[in-house]
Structure 1
Amino acid sequence: MKPSSGPISADPVRPISPISPRILCISLGSIGRRHLRNTRALLPQARIAVWRQRAGAGAALPEGADEVVTSLQQALAFMPDAVLVSSPASEHVANARPFVQRNLPVFLEKPLAARSADLGDFPALCRASSGFTMVGYVLRFLPALHAIRQALRDGLLGQVHTARAEVGQYLPDWRPGSDYRQGVSSQQRLGGGALLELSHEIDYATWLFGWPQSLQCSRARLSSLEIDVEDSAHVLLEYTDKRISLQLDFLQRVVHMAVQIVGSKGTLVADLVRQELRLTDPANPQGRSLAAPALPDGNDIYLRQFDFFFAKALAGYQPVDPQTPGFDGWADVDSAHKVLGLIDLAKQASDTGLRQTVPFAQAPA
């Protein structure tokens, strides 16, 4: 078997880097606070500034930060070595643009924007920049998905005919202590809704299977949740030789993430919450487990993501995970742009009831 790419060990990530870069964190919502904590853990000697765009002068200093800035002028004067953008999706491009233009490394949370139309020349700007840019499709760092990708590459399933990816969690349970109605996920103007917020599944489906030729979609608000976006979406990705269905929802009372792939040689079922994979085939009708190291902590996947980003972005950074230097599974701006394009097409398909042709159909690498 070929070696799997990516961080696949299960050892906890530990802070060891002695460098002291200047890191700018833009916005401090739930994911922004996580990124701030993880940045401090991986870069204990860094100087970290938080750009609070909705806070006035004298804003409280967040735990783990060294200073607060409240304007672009102050953010630029901080002279960051790398920038982490965790604002609402509708603000990503505007927040990142000044730093990409200055050839700084930039990490953008997913999705890349609320609509493809909001991007303008931003993808081209990122390609032209000498600074490293990546998008936070963090499931690309999950060992179980790398094991699935390797099983496909090794031909364990034969020709893939169908696959199904599912994700669901009850929206009010996402961030305990917060009013879900005020969150980004609940509001159309901020880039909420199941298709955008749960686009990890769209990203990894296309990472595993390539870009489809066409798609169909049905999205709706089926619950009594007080939101102005869809709480569920069913997407069918259509390829010349297979069909991939995606179920994304804010409804399931127990967190659920699962994948089933049906091939000519066998069927693979994966529970991504438990990080367990099982393959059934004629020789193993009861199934057999496939090796996939389980990450011991829910935050570890985010630490691994930033171990990779800092290794690419900061001179002198010493990666914690031995797999990081050879990792090749990260999501760049161009692939995230295509994911956003699929979401736009999915919304059109649902609103019109018509199948949509995908202009950038392509097989996986």
Structure 2
Amino acid sequence: MKALIIGLGSIGLRHRRILKKIKKISQIKFFSKHKYNDKNNLKSRKEILKYNPDYIVICSATHEHITDLKFLEKNFKNKMILIEKPLFHKYINYNVKNNKVFVGYNLRYHPLIQFIKEICGRKKIWSINILCGSYLPEWRKNVNYKNSYSAKQNSGGVLLDLSHELDYISYLFGNWKPLFAVSKKISNLDIKSDDYLSLFATNNNNLKIYLELNYFTRIPKRQIFIDSKNLSLKIDLLKNEAIIIKDKIISKKIKKFKIDEMYEAQHIDIINKKFKFACNYNDGIKIMKKIDKIRDLKH
């Protein structure tokens, strides 16, 4: 199976490194607007057509995703395409007809996300509180954060960059709707995009959802708090541990888990056409609609 990576920034390099480990991938080439002295660098879209890849990963800047996808839809059929999250920079009404398209929300493959899905099951959940924060200047080695796409108004901001949280809310608890949001830049980071989001939402089961995202904390966190009848959970996705309170406190810590494992599991799931946890194109579109709705609500 031949693979193609479109865009070779930090995330594209990660995908290339991981794809090299997968036995079914026999060849990996890439297409980038930057010049690389590499025999696997395809220098034009015509060379992409000639290469005729089986599996394609779109890692270009977020606002370029739609252009890359339209090119692939026009020129290929029956290919497997993974688009890095978020799907687009805003909701775009575009139907995919010729290829199988997925979105890179690979936190679905985290063992603790699967644990939540298993333990919550059909329980009526009262509330979930989600906290996710990190320090943007430390995200990418050898890249000045001020020049990254995350810093730009049209392609960055926590709402797009940290939209994993929006996806796994849908994945775990079904459809939901935003009710109130504050999305703005509040720190001294030298960026044009929003570095803070506070969101309140609900669903048809009257679940209360609170989400807070930021780019500026020096204390990284990715935590989920869930409460229902006779059950309270604290999930820490960075420490890979869960605290479960039923009749008594139970602590659960999963084995040492690397981020690359989620990427690899996602690739294998799609390449093998299992689609067990993969976020499909329609799910990705739904997230973009929610992002636009949150933008309309923001104060």
Which of 169, 189, 199 aligns to 1:225? It is 189
* Deviation by residue 1:124-158 (Cα, 9 ceiling, x = unmatched): 22xx22x3221100101101000001111164xxx
Q: Which letter maps to 1:337?
A: I
Task: Quote the offset at 1:48 in angstroms.
Answer: 1.7
Q: Which letter maps to 2:192?
A: D
4+ residue runs of structure 1 moved beyond 6 angstroms? none
Q: Which letter maps to 2:241?
A: E
User: Which residue does the alignment assign to 2:110?
Assistant: 142
Separation of aligned partners in 1, 2:296 and 2:259 = 35
User: Which residue does the alignment assign to 2:232?
Assistant: 267
Give the structure-1-normalised TM-score.
Answer: 0.77
Task: Quote the offset at 1:170 in angstroms.
Answer: 0.5
1:92 equivalenced with 2:53 (yes/no): no
Percent of aligned pairs with the same residue?
25
Separation of aligned partners in 2, 1:154 and 1:46 = 42
Q: Which moved more, 1:222-231 or 1:94-103?
A: 94-103
Matches for 1:292-311 after TM superposition, within 5 Å: 293-311=254-272
1:209 equivalenced with 2:173 (yes/no): yes
Separation of aligned partners in 1, 2:136 and 2:192 = 13
Which of 238, 248, 251 aligns to 1:289? It is 251
Separation of aligned partners in 2, 1:279 and 1:41 = 35
Separation of aligned partners in 1, 2:23 and 2:148 = 29
Which of 242, 266, 270 aligns to 1:277? It is 242
Matches for 1:2-21 after TM superposition, within 5 Å: 21=1
Matches for 1:1-365 after TM superposition, within 5 Å: 21-43=1-23, 46-55=26-35, 59-61=36-38, 66-101=39-74, 102-103=76-77, 104-116=79-91, 119-121=92-94, 124-125=95-96, 128-129=97-98, 131-153=99-121, 155=123, 159-189=124-154, 191-240=155-204, 241-281=206-246, 283-284=247-248, 287-290=249-252, 293-312=254-273, 325=274, 328-351=276-299
User: Which residue does the alignment assign to 1:3?
Assistant: none
- Tell me which structure has the larger Cα radius of gyration: 1
Task: Quote the offset at 1:46 in angstroms.
Answer: 1.9
Q: Which has the higher contact order (CA 8 A, sep 6+)?
A: 1
Note if contact 1:234-1:246 (Cα within 8 Å) is conserved in structure 2: yes
Separation of aligned partners in 2, 1:113 and 1:45 = 27
C-alpha spacing 1:44/1:213, structure 2 compared with 1 (3 Å): closer
Note if contact 2:240-2:257 (Cα within 8 Å) is conserved in structure 1: no
Task: Quote the offset at 1:100 in angstroms.
Answer: 2.9
Task: Quote the offset at 1:196 in angstroms.
Answer: 0.3
- The secondary structure found in structure 1 opposite 2:127 is strand
Note if contact 1:24-1:84 (Cα within 8 Å) is conserved in structure 2: yes
Separation of aligned partners in 1, 2:177 and 2:5 = 38
Q: Which letter maps to 2:89?
A: A
- The secondary structure found in structure 2 opposite 1:252 is strand
Note if contact 2:231-2:244 (Cα within 8 Å) is conserved in structure 1: yes
Q: Which has the higher strand share?
A: 2
Task: Quote the offset at 1:214 in angstroms.
Answer: 4.1
Give the structure-2-normalised TM-score.
Answer: 0.93
Structure 1: runs of 5+ lacking an equivalent: 1-20, 313-324, 352-365
C-alpha spacing 1:175/1:166, structure 2 compared with 1 (3 Å): same
Q: Which letter maps to 1:338?
A: K
C-alpha spacing 1:45/1:142, structure 2 compared with 1 (3 Å): closer
Structure 2: runs of 5+ lacking an equivalent: none
- The secondary structure found in structure 2 opposite 1:188 is coil
